[in-house]
Structure formats: structure tokens, C-alpha cells
Chains A and B, each alone.
Chain A
Amino acid sequence: MASIELRDVWHSYDLEEGKKNNWQYAVENINITYENGAAVALLGPSGCGKTTLLKIISGLTKPTKGQVLFDGEDVSHLSAKDRHIAQVFQFPVVYDSMNVYGNIAFPLANDGVDSSTIRKRVYEVAEILEITDLLKEPAGRLNPADKQKVSLGRGIVRPNTAAVLLDEPLTVIDPKAQWGLRRKLKQVQKELNFTMIYVTHDQHEALTFAEKVTVMQVGKIDQTGTPEELHENPASMFIGYFIGSPGMNMMDCTVAPDGTVAYNGTSFQISKKLASGLLEHGNELTLGIRPEYVELITRQEKNAMSGTVKLVEDTGAYKIVTVTMGSLDLKARAPETMKVEEGQAVWMGFPEKDLKFFKDGKKVL
């Protein structure tokens, strides 16, 4: 187990392939520190460079520049094997011709560990993963969820494993089994105190697994924070939109010194103090508010903006209401008990403390 640090890492596949012109970085300016025993996640849409970072951490790819440090030691030059990084892949990887016992024992056997130690260790791991009764089964015949457990077992069976990388481990698992496997991953992480890095494009998986989530967008890190921080204080419009379901409402607005925020032909008031703070960044900003914080009311009130209900999506626990204001659609979350119909006139209030303002995609206040 180890702490993992990426220091000023840049990588370009184009350069690696010897491309001379028009080459691009797949990931750039990456600085991350993961503490020993942390449960962390790398979250981002497909093609954002998550897998590249994963390969750089595991040693399968050597970064164009920058350093990888485990426990403060530079391991950039070490191979995947010598870094003692374990990995659970998207598609379950087991050795079909061996049984489950053979699979979990495999890394230890390769390390030349004696067979009684292997036996003890394999049973310990199987116990934790709750697959003791499967040890004699041929690995090829397991269901995908159990295969992933075996795959994880191979990773954690080595006592000197520095970290376990999970590369979208739930993708091919059916929804019912996903829940159990996710719980197991979390439990193993807590119990063994392994550094585990979970890579996914699914915010739900990332936020429920990790204490700290790094969100990436086209090769760059946008923000690293706890799930709560990402939700409450998104550092960028991208995170505001990407995290949360549905994502944050975004609209271009103009801020005046008297606290009037005008957008889409309507306006509301904010405090002069906030307005003056915002004006340091210019008066053309983007306003963001999470649907959860939009106050949806059915009668007119001061400082509330009017709109028409376009769509009501009832999730059972709450309602997602899409309100149209001319050319702009906003989403609001309403309690299940609220009576609201499509075509109805409604008003919306934006509580000042829940407003976020962005300039050029980055949060300003």
C-alpha cells in the first residue's frame, strides 16, 4: 500500500508514435496526490484521458514528461510488475483454464511464494470476497460479477500491492449484481485499507465509492474534491453540468452594480455585496443553479420569475419539472406532494446562497 502522486504529468500518444506535426497531448498538466489507503475515483466522460492516467499510474504507459511517485519515491522508470499495482479491468479477466484457487494463487506462485503460504493467503482473500465455496470451480464458468471478484482477488492477494486500479469494473455486470459488487469493493477497500483508484464515466459509481473524486475533462483535471464539494461547489461549468442528475441549470446573464441580474429578458435581485464581488470579473457571466435549489412556487412572489411548465418527470420520490421561459428551459426539483401540471404557469426563486457564477467556464464566486 502506498500513497500515489502524479507530478506535472503530460502525455502525448502522437509523440509516442513519432508524429511530428499537429501532435496533441492526451493528458496535460496533471498533478494529483492520493493518500495511502484512500478510496478515490477518476471521473470523466469517454475520451477524457482517464484510461491514459490509469496506464501511467500502473506503468503500462510511460508519460511524455512528469513523474510518478509512490510513497514519495520516483517509480516512473519501473515496469507495471515492479510497481506492484493491481488492476481490475472493464471486461472480467480470469485465467479460464484454471480454477478460482489457481487464479488467485497465480500472482503469488509467480513470485515464488511457498505453497502453504499461498494456501493460507488464498483462503483469506476468498473469505473476504465471499467466494470460498467457488474456489474449486473453473474460473471460466463463473458469472461476470464473480469473475470480477476473482480478478480483484488476484490484485489483493499480494501483501505488497501498492494500489488497486479499477477500470470501469461494473460495465459488463448486470444491474442487479452491480449493487452487491460495488458494496464488496467498498468493503474490501475499507477492511484492507488499500489505496483504490476507481475509474469510471458514471458519476453515481464514482460518488458512492470514493471519498475523493477527480473530475477530468479533455485531458485536464477540472477539480478534485469530496462528492459534496463537487456537488455544492463545482469549480467549472462542466462539473456543474456533469455532476448531479439532472445537471446544473446554466444561463448567461448580465450583472449590474445595483444587484440586478438580467438574463433571457427577465431579471432578479441579488445583494449589492455579491454584485460588487462579481463585477470584479466583468459583468457578462454565466449563472448556475442546481435544480434542487430552484424554489418552485405556484403563485407570484417578489423576486420570482415566471415560466410555464413544459414537462413533469415523476421519479416517485420527487418530481423533475422542466420550466420554459421563452427560449430557455430550466429544471427544478419539486417535492412529490407538489401538484404541478404541464402547461401550468409557475414562478421560480433563486436563493442567493445557492447561486454559482462562472466566467469562461470557471467558477468565479
Chain B
Amino acid sequence: MKYDNKAWLFLLPALGVMALSAFIPLMTVVNYSLHYIFSGAIPEFVGFANFIEVIRDAKFQGALGRQLLFSIAILAVQMPLGIAIALSMPKKGVGVAISLVLLGIPLLIPYNVVGIVWRLFSQSDIGLIPEVLSWIGYEYNVSLDPIDAPVTIFLLDVWHWTPLVALLAYAGYLAIPDAFYRAAEIDGASRWKTFRYVTLPKLRPVLVLGFLLRFMDSFKIYAEPLLLTGGGPGDTTTFMSLFVARKAQSYELGYAGAASIIYLFIVIVMSYLFFQLLTKLGQGESQKA
């Protein structure tokens, strides 16, 4: 087959938009990260000093650790829960439409609306959550309790985004030909083995996609903690995005730039590693049963 370079021509508009929306701003950030900048003053080139400062900063380390913990918890809960929901959904009849709508609703609500709605839910004086929890004797306070705040954001995210995983898994599940299940039945496979050797391998492509989307999205969570807790109490809900944004808002542009680059680097490297790992996982593994 002959290849020519015509494809690049068609890519040009997209690349143009990419340059304006991503590349140029990114380069601006790179530029910031190498300078000492304070608004109004003349920028001074400082090399990697900002990066070193960021890495040594206990606040940055705290935000990163919090962020990793949050994303791991999100993936550990949303992936299995999403699969479980998908597998228990009806495969035909009116139930399909009903469950699709129910799953779709959280996904249709914008981040900031979700944040505001949950703020009302969790508000200590009028909220539904503290009221209900008080019935079982738990004193809930999202703005003061260092456990309640991150847990609430975690639950919010589970409520908001598990449906995405469920929908992806459901679509993948419906695409599995019935013959595979009939074969497994004939081969005498138990329910677990049928799941392990038919459903899971067939769902892998969509699950890899779901995993990466959820990892990247949860890793850059911003609007929810901003609206719900403002990053507090203390720093307990100051995740990476919020941390970097705060720095930029306080005109520490050099520091914020360096932190952003490190942040981006972590997301890219981890996404790449996850992708490699997940696509290879289980492929051609020998099975001695």
C-alpha cells in the first residue's frame, strides 16, 4: 500500500485548534515555571529552582499524596461497582430505558451544579446528610470534620461518575455474543468462572477506557472540593488542581507553573503505565485451571 502525506492536511485544522487551546498555553506555563515572577515585576530566569522548591514543599507533597489516595479509592470503588451495576441491569424490555435514564441523570449534571447541590445536602444546619446521620447518632460536619469532608467528596464522585463506568461496561456487556455464554454453560463453568473467562476478558477494552477516563478525571478533580469545602477543613480536601490554582491565584506564577508541569507529567506517565499494564494484563496468560 502507498502512503502519502495528505492526511496531515486534513489534520491541520484540528492541530491549529490544539495549538491555540493547549500547546501555546502549555508553553506559557513552561515559561513561567522557569522564572521568578511576581505580578508587575520583571521576570527573572531561575532555571529549575521553582521545581526544586515545589518538590521539597510539604504542602505540595501533602496535596499529591491526598490526590493519589483519592484517585486510588475512586478507582477501587467505581470500577467494580460500575461492572456490578452493568451486569445486574436488565438486558431487554422497558427496564433498559429506565435504568439508562437513571444512570444518565448524574452524568448530565454539570460539575458546579453537582457541587452546589451536594453543598446543600451536606450543610450542617439545613442539610439532608447531617440530619439523616444524626438519627443514628453520628455528628456530621463537612466544614469542620477532617474525615467527613474528604469522604463526602468521595461519595459525591462515586455518585456522579460510577454511572459512566456502568454505562461503558453495559455497552460492552451487550456486545458479547450469546454463544460465549452458551459455550460456558455447556463447558460447565461456574458463575465466577464465566465472569472471569468470558465477561471480564470481553469487557477489557471498555474497562481500560473507563479506568483511564476515571483515573485522569479524578486526578484533576477541582470544582467539587472548591464548591463543597473550599479545600478545607485545613488542607484535607485540597487536591492537586485546587492546590495549583490557589498558588496561581496568589500570583506565585513561577511556583504554580512548575507544580503544573510536574502534575501534568505525573498524569501522563501514570496514564501511559496504566494503559500498557491494562492492555497486556491477562493477554495470553496460561491457564492451568
Contacts and interface: CB of A to CB of B under 8 A. Distances in A.
Does A associate with B in a complex?
yes
Interface of A: 58, 60, 79-81, 85-87, 89-91, 93, 95-99, 101-102, 105-107, 109-111, 115, 118, 136-138, 140-141, 151, 154-155
Nearest to B180: A93
A170 to B, nearest CB: 15
A99 B284 contact: yes
Given A93-B179, A105-B289, A110-B193, A140 B185 contact: no
Contact of B179 (A80, A91, A115): A91
Given A97-B285, A102-B287, A102-B288, A87 B182 contact: yes
Interface in B184-201: 185-190, 193, 197-198, 200-201
A173 to B, nearest CB: 16
A106 B283 contact: no
A208 B186 CA distance: 27
Nearest to A154: B187
A89 B182 CA distance: 9
Contacts, number: 86
A97 B185 contact: no
A106 B289 contact: yes
A97 B283 contact: yes
Interface of B: 177, 179-180, 182-183, 185-190, 193, 197-198, 200-202, 282-289
Contacts of A141: 284
Nearest to B182: A60
Nearest to A107: B187
Contact of A99 (B188, B202, B287): B287
Q: Name the 5 nearest CB pairs between A and B, nearest first.
A: A138-B284, A102-B287, A109-B289, A110-B188, A97-B201
A23 B289 CA distance: 46
A80 B5 CA distance: 56
A73 B44 CA distance: 93
A98 B285 contact: yes
Contacts of B190: 110
Given A97-B287, A102-B287, A80 B185 contact: yes
